[in-house]
Amino acid sequence: MKNIKFEPVIGLEVHAQLKTHTKIFCSCTVRFEEQENKNTCPICTGMPGVLPVLNRKVVEFALKASLALNFHINPVSIFARKNYFYPDLPKGYQISQYDIPIAEHGYLEIEKEGTIKKFRIQRLHIEEDAGKNIHRADKSYLDFNRAGTALIEIVTDPDFRSAEEAASFVRNLRSVLQYLDVCDGNMEEGSLRCDANISLRPVGQTNFGIKAEVKNMNSFKFIEKALLYEIERQTELLEEGKKVLQETRLWDSDKGKTFSMRSKEFAHDYRYFPEPDLRPLVINNNLIEKMKKELPELPDQRRKRFVNQYGLPEYDALILTDTKNLADYYESCVTAVSDPKMVSNFIMTEVLRYLKKHSLEIQENPVTAENLSKLLIFIKNGTINGKIAKDIFREMFTTKKSATQIVQEKNLSQVSDESSLQDTVQKVLKNHPTEVDKYLGGVQNLFSFFMGQIMKETKGRANPQKVTEILKELLKTQRS
């Protein structure tokens, strides 16, 4: 089997927790930092004799997501009971949608290096979340604060042919849900969870191979790593003529491996049947039209607008619109500084580099848009130069001080004063007679040597444009 080339076939299931204020079938508040079991009632703890009442906001959020992801919306969809037994599921079943979900046949287009690829999405359905098991020492506890929280589950077609494609899909999907403001998209905290089905097949074959399901990948990086690991593991098995087992595997980020959790239960184990306590969900056109009108600008549209309105290169626009928070941060700086490309450069290099270094999200950035704008205005009006701005930014990031405060405290204002700069240039030329001779003899690149010396002399505070002018002028006089 060594000579056969295999290709991966990957499909994704994404669970997104909706940002509704209350749970899906009761009026309990959705908040997780609360004390365990505080936000519970007889409905979400599955007491006998209670009835679920569907939260209208859940339907509206699911519709917004469906519209943004180009879904066909089913005028009538059905809630179903998915039966399984686990301590964190108090009713012994989860209310979900099965045969007829709220939306089917959507897609998401992703642009990469100028080509657009379309990834199909089979379905989007509404369901409730389970509670949480907490294991401490030798005891297990149950927290039902999350039980009954609204989720949408998004199931793609097996359209991904690499780990990178799959990870990029989840990134784009998260971005859409964040722009819609229906999910906060925090993968580490579990508001966005992703499972993948992955199988391999010889290139050119249309039938699918046997797939394994991979769970527990709680970041984009882990999705990519776990799938790459799985591709390698399955390739080795197939090359040795062995079989891939149909099973569920968990990603262990510490070990960088997936391991077998359990052999796959089949769908019929869940004994799905229509939920007798809820009527079919009827969506009328008025509601769809209303939701269409409420759709905000989506990542793709914003990216295009950034190119048109601010004259940014595609690459900048793509990075700056990656999350809504980053795009908002950029736009508030541009409003204050009115130099779109300069703002973009500074955010894409300094701001994103520091955030990455400290593993922070843009909303956790210690330098507010207002403070960054002040710093950039200082560069623009010549108070400081670009190099010093970077040092100041580093300090703003660590101390949360404002740019103004740091510039004042450290006396960092740029020196633009003619006569004092002239003195410095003169001094430098006087101290380097050999270099001056060589320069006059035609070694042009010594110009930057002189610039460097002047900057050193002024501790980087000299206005580079003024220095260039003065230096040119004085070198000319040396010639005569």
Which residues make up the interface to Zn ion (CB under 5 A)?
26, 28, 41, 43-44
Closer residue to Zn ion (CB): 41 or 474: 41
Instruction: Decide if 224 contacts 164 (C-beta within 8 A).
Output: yes
Closer residue to Zn ion (CB): 29 or 426: 29
Task: Name the minimum Å distance from CB 39 to Zn ion.
Answer: 7
Task: Name the minimum Å distance from CB 407 to Zn ion.
Answer: 54
Task: Name the minimum Å distance from CB 25 to Zn ion.
Answer: 8
Closer residue to Zn ion (CB): 24 or 73: 24
Task: Name the minimum Å distance from CB 43 to Zn ion.
Answer: 5
Task: Name the minimum Å distance from CB 22 to Zn ion.
Answer: 8
In the chain, what is the straight-line distance between the N-terminal and C-terminal CA atoms, in Å? 81
Closer residue to Zn ion (CB): 87 or 280: 87
Burial label, 146 (beta-carbon count in 10 A; 0-12, 13-18, 19+): buried
Closer residue to Zn ion (CB): 39 or 453: 39
Task: Name the minimum Å distance from CB 48 to Zn ion.
Answer: 15
Closer residue to Zn ion (CB): 52 or 185: 52
Closer residue to Zn ion (CB): 277 or 437: 277
Task: Name the minimum Å distance from CB 202 to Zn ion.
Answer: 51
